[in-house]
Amino acid sequence: MAEEEDEHSTSSSSSNPCPICLGPLLQESYLDQCFHKFCYNCIVHWTKVVANKHSCPPSSVKCPLCKTENFSIIHRYDGTSFERHYINQDFGNSAFFSEAHKYRLQCYYIEPVTLKSLDDKFIVSQYWKARKYLQPNQWLQTWLRREIQALIQEEDVEIIVHHILGVIDSFRRNDQKTPTTPETKQEHFKALVSQAATPFLIGRTDRFVNEVELFLASGLNIEAYDKVYMQHLGWKVSGITTEDEEGEVSGNAPSVPYLFLFDEDSDGIE
């Protein structure tokens, strides 16, 4: 029986060789979005070759087969668990990328249901019913800059920030010309911000729009908002917490998979 299983495994590997080395799959691994299969060492080496073609180390790459954007390599899958290797996960050591940036990037890897109670804490529904969205937020520009820097791992994001701020300001100015119920106002706002952010944030856009809404509804400055957010998650992050908490990092905080989203048509593989 064991011999039959070995023969079946060898036959399967031979009929589906690694697309890179064209040999039998060794340490079978998958890209996390398209699930194309490769030898682990082959796909890791390939991502390093691709990274060397860019002036800034990318932390996402397009599959050499289908060009789908992928952020990590899944390997050592045994039916119940697996390991994940993030593309260029050591990126993020540049001067502008602070602990606050890392904390915000971590937030995008939390299940949305974990943050659901923040809607109630910040009374998001009241934000729309009381038309608080008409009040300018003096911290929004700075918050947006940090948020977008964290997501795309670039320091100069002023064009993106200016674009999204312009959309939000236009929404406020045209308040009387848009649907009048709180629910439709909310949907219209989120649709506009989503449309503005999608070309830059791609797959993180929906979550980003929800985070923008949470920050605006909170009415807090950035420091106070971060404190409430981290208390809700049970995190302690060095550099952006209170003095007695500095230096401690909660074990509940997920590791940061440094993403770098780019729009190039090819990663050097024709």
E runs forming strands in the chain: 28-31, 37-39, 61-62, 69-70, 72-75, 83-86
When pLDDT is cut at 50, 70 and 90, the band that residue 119 belongs to is confident
pLDDT at 169 over 90: yes
- Alpha-carbon 21 to chain mean position: 31
pLDDT at 91 over 60: no
**What are the residue ranges spanned by the domains of the chain?**
2-86, 99-245
Average pLDDT over residues 12-37: 85
pLDDT for 72 equals 85
Which CATH superfamily groups domain 2-86?
A: Zinc/RING finger domain, C3HC4 (zinc finger) (3.30.40.10)
Closest to 257 measured CA to CA, from 45, 19, 58: 58
pLDDT at 64 over 70: yes
pLDDT for 76 equals 87
pLDDT for 168 equals 95
The contacts found for 46-52 with CB under 8 angstroms, 24 or more apart, are 46/20, 46/269, 47/73, 47/87, 47/88, 49/268, 50/267, 50/268, 50/269, 51/87, 51/88
Residues 6+ apart with CB under 8 A from 76: 27, 82, 83
User: Of residues 175 and 260, which shows the higher confidence score?
Assistant: 175
pTM: 0.58
Give me the helix-helix angle, 99-107 and 222-233, nearest 10°: 50
- Alpha-carbon 126 to chain mean position: 28
Geometric angle at alpha carbon 126, from 123 and 131, rounded to 5°: 135
Least confident interval from 67-71, 174-178, 234-238: 234-238
